[in-house]
Structure 1
Amino acid sequence: MTDELPKDDAQWRQRLSPDQYRVCRQKGTEPAFTGAYWNDKTPGVYRCAGCGEVLFDSATKYDSGSGWPSFWQPADPAAVATETDISHGMRRVEVHCARCGSHLGHVFPDGPRPTGERYCINSLSLTLEPRGE
């Protein structure tokens, strides 16, 4: 990606929709079973809504039953970063875009093989680029 990232809050608000801003920049979440991609089966790559970085591939997407798009691994491990999240009285691992810092969701150790991980990601933090288009 060569696209320059916003330098301040006003530029982020201009780039993202209000709902995307709430999720990506304020660590919000969308209600389960409401996002555009939770049940989508379109082959392609999922990019960060904030900066366009490729984050996940549909080949690793699966139905976790959680109501959010779930993947068993990122497209490139270096594309996502994690940190401990102790909000809401829980201890979780937050996932964010390594390039722009946008909040994506959380990763849990209850996913399928081969990784055993479940990247539970907000649809609002993603844009789907269908394969072959």
Structure 2
Amino acid sequence: MPTAAVYTCRATNWVMLVIGIPIVVLWTIISVKDPGLNNILVTAVWLISLLITAVTSTQRVTAGPVGLAVSLGPFGFPRVTIARADIAHAEIIDLPSGPWSSAGVGWRPRRGWMLALNTGPGLRIRTNSGRRVTVSMRDPAAALWAMGIAP
């Protein structure tokens, strides 16, 4: 089995950046022009919009002999780490595109955690405890080889 020392992949969700940044700017303009009681609501919406834009804008995946690490956002937070010893099953999947696609960041009842900024190839992992994590990446087979798992 060929092995790679470490597999890394970075993805940028340009659609979220193109949509999210103007929304944050719009909420900033609204909060400056209308100081008052609504300012608390506008500030809360501004902070939520900024947080969602930051977290879902970039993703970095690192796979190696010690396991899988996924960092979201420009500062690497939140970060999900799965040790190689904790992986019970891993499979290569295709995240379909469309209005009800599987892409997104969040938890879904039957699919577990989704850390998929883009559609296309991905890796679905089930841990020894039963937790499921789906991650989008360009070359999931290379990630499996780097972790010492045959695809």
Query: TM-score under structure 1 normalisation?
Result: 0.30
Select the structure that is richer in strand. 2
User: Whose helix fraction is larger, Structure 1's or Structure 2's?
Assistant: 2
Which of the pair has more CA radius of gyration? 2
